[in-house]
Amino acid sequence: MRRPMLLAVALCILLASAALAQPLRVAVYEGGLGGKAVAEALAAQEGFEATLIGDLTADTLLQHDALFVGSTRLDDPASLNALRLFAGVGGGIVLNHSATGRDLPQTPFPAVASLFSGRREDTIVLTAGGHPIAQGLPAEFEHAYSDHLLLTPGEAGTPVLRDRS
């Protein structure tokens, strides 16, 4: 009884380590501002396989591990449903600028970011330095753009960065 359990654990560890050796498959939506440049930058990094995609359908998204959407308006119900399905099965999603829900009645993921609450220009402060996405970031830095959108965290949201003031 004990030996099969140990073999099962060893198999799980082996499969997990094999999965980690695979490049992260990132879909980059070409309908968002800067999509081509983001795909090229990711593809140049070791450990990433970036693909430009033209549609936000479940079939397309499920072929990838993560999705990047540059500044664009996400207001198509079918695309939003596909994004939510993708996130629901563990897909990672990065929404940049207007893709976060600017000028819409609600954000694409209200449980994570309940609403778009404005914009400002300020210094960025790291608030969750232990979060995996924050590895290597300094405690404070100036952002390189002048149109910083503010989101109100939802009940499942974890703010990693915030404005200093």
Report pLDDT for 26: 92
Q: Is pLDDT above 50 for 126?
A: yes
State pLDDT tens for residues 50-69: 999 999 999 999 999 998 88
- The CA–CA distances, whole Å, from 151 to 46, 74, 99, 120 equal 31, 16, 12, 11
Q: Is pLDDT above 80 for 164?
A: no
Residue 14 phi, psi (nearest 5): -60, -45
Q: Is the dihedral of CA 111, 114, 116, 119 positive or negative?
A: negative
Nearest to 70 by CA among 130, 145, 127, 140: 145
Report pLDDT for 121: 63
Determine the Cα–Cα distance for residues 60 and 54; give it in Å rounded to an integer: 9
Regarding the domain with residue range 22-106, which homologous superfamily does it belong to in the CATH classification?
A: Nitrogenase molybdenum iron protein domain (3.40.50.1980)
State the average pLDDT over residues 13-38: 76
Domain coordinates in residue numbering, the chain? 22-106, 110-165
pTM (two decimals): 0.69
